[in-house]
Amino acid sequence: MEALNNIGVFKKNIIIVLNDNEMSISANVGGFSSYLSKSLTSALATKMRYDFKNAAEEAPFGDTVLKIAKKMENMMIGVLSPGAFFENLGIRYIGPIDGHNIKEIEKALSNAQLQKRPVLVHIATKKGKGYEPAEKSPDVFHGVSAFDKETGIVKGKSDMLSWTDVFGRKILSMAETHNNIAAVTAAMGQGTGLKKFAEKFPDRFFDVGIAEQYAAAFSAGLAVTGMKPYCAIYSTFLQRAYDQIIHDIAIAELPVTLCVDRGGFVGADGSTHHGIYDIAYLKTIPNLNIMLPKDKSELEAMLDLSYELNKPVAIRYARGSVYDNKELPFNKLELGKPEIIADKGKTAVISVGHIFSEVYTAYKKLQNEGIDVTLINLRFVKPLNKEYLLSLLKDKSFVVIIEEGALIGGAGEMIVSLLNNSSIYIPCRTIGIRDEFFEHGSVADLRKDAGLDWESLYNTIKDCIYKA
């Protein structure tokens, strides 16, 4: 909207192509989407517009007829299409055009090139057009792995529960018990695991469209009314709402829970989608409680705790299959207190969040070789029971902190600073995502590249033990 406003003021020769398929990842929502969809049909509106103009050009007294035609055309823009909005901004509107008709597109673009002003070409398309499974399930085919072209079924899809599945099931269960729980998302109802919540509690489900800033502010508004909103947004998109998290949620200490999905590497979506900055940018915000579950049971318990706290909370979890280690007993959460998995060695390994699955595998291999380490699950970045953590670390000879997040500004730097400021000088090694953009690749390959796979962690921890 800001760009459109600026374009209209400067009146430069710019052609804007609006591909309108009535979809984001999920179906579009909101007033503007409805406005864009108000035309009778793209084919009818386009045909009437061009037929009218062609007839006027061929009529006697051409100049007079063309002037009348122009006025009639402008009236038609307002009646048959959403063009009045753009025209009032100073942007010439052409459309809607059938986006699957190449000749109509070429004609519209040629017309746009002749204009000596900004032009918007409104092209109507159908997401997945030409492939029946994609037409029926455009959200599923927004980003897809290898699939059977005959059936449209994705190949190699895991039957294991994902972190998102666990969140979706738990929040649905909580909403059945607490009628003040609401779910908020930004055009990602299915992607964030809220589809069943939306079906069962439509009056408590709010999809605000691709507007993460507004999702955070809207959640704050719900909280003011006494609701307990759970705002589910992918980590990389939550960055857009940073200002609202501070000003609308944290300053007012409102009980909004930010469900930060896709924390860490996300795989094939690449550098724009990896959720690696969230710990760094969230931990600077006062009043915000930050929780990082290591597995399925902790995610469920942290969601319960978030409801009880009545404060701003962020819970960060990963993409892909949830870690569910049956050999480890669940230890009850105490706000701010790390969990001791094992206290057997002079080298302390602190695992931050979901990377615990790799850390624990490395730990088991060390144990099998008779090498003892103290293994700590951090659980909380804020608040952090500093006294308790320092009591665990003060007698250690080496500390290794592991997180699937940015090293700069991450939990590792925070713990090193805590030790130094407490005059506890212990050699430390922080392992995380180095200061560069990581491109496409499987999560396994990206972790290996970053030294966060279990084999790399095993070798690094072993090296630290020998150095100690």
Residues marked as catalytic: 127, 212, 240
Q: With b meaning 16 or more CB within 10 Å and e meaning fewer, what string describes 4-28?
A: beebbeeeeeeebbbebeebbbbeb
Q: What is the 3-state secondary structure (H, E, C) of the chain?
A: CHHHHHHHHHCCCCEEEEEECCECCCECCCHHHHHHCCCCCHHHHHHHHHHHHHHHHHCCCHHHHHHHHHHHHHHHHHHHCCHHHHHHCCCEEEEEEECCCHHHHHHHHHHHHHCCCCEEEEEECCCCCCCHHHHHCCCCCCCCCCECCCCCCECCCCCCCEHHHHHHHHHHHHHHHCCCEEEEECCCCCCCCCHHHHHHCHHHEEECCCCHHHHHHHHHHHHHCCCEEEEEEEHHHHHHHHHHHHHHHHCCCCCCEEEEECEECCCCCCCCCCECCHHHHHCCCCCCEEECCCCHHHHHHHHHHHHHHCCCEEEECCCCECCCCCCCCCCCCCCCCCEEEECCCCEEEEEEHHHHHHHHHHHHHHHHCCCCCEEEECCEEECCCHHHHHHHHCCCCEEEEEEEEECCCCHHHHHHHHHHHCCCCCCEEEEEECCCCCCCCCHHHHHHHHCCCHHHHHHHHHHHHHHC
Token pair, residue 180, equals 């003040």
**Separation between Cα atoms, residue 129 and residue 142, nearest integer Å:** 12
CB contact at 8 A, 300 and 170: yes
Contacts of 429 (CB under 8 A, 6+ apart): 398, 399, 400, 401, 460, 464
- Sign for the pseudo-dihedral over CA of 356, 362, 368, 370: negative
- Nearest-5° angle of CA 364, CA 367, CA 371? 135
**Separation between Cα atoms, residue 255 and residue 224, nearest integer Å:** 9
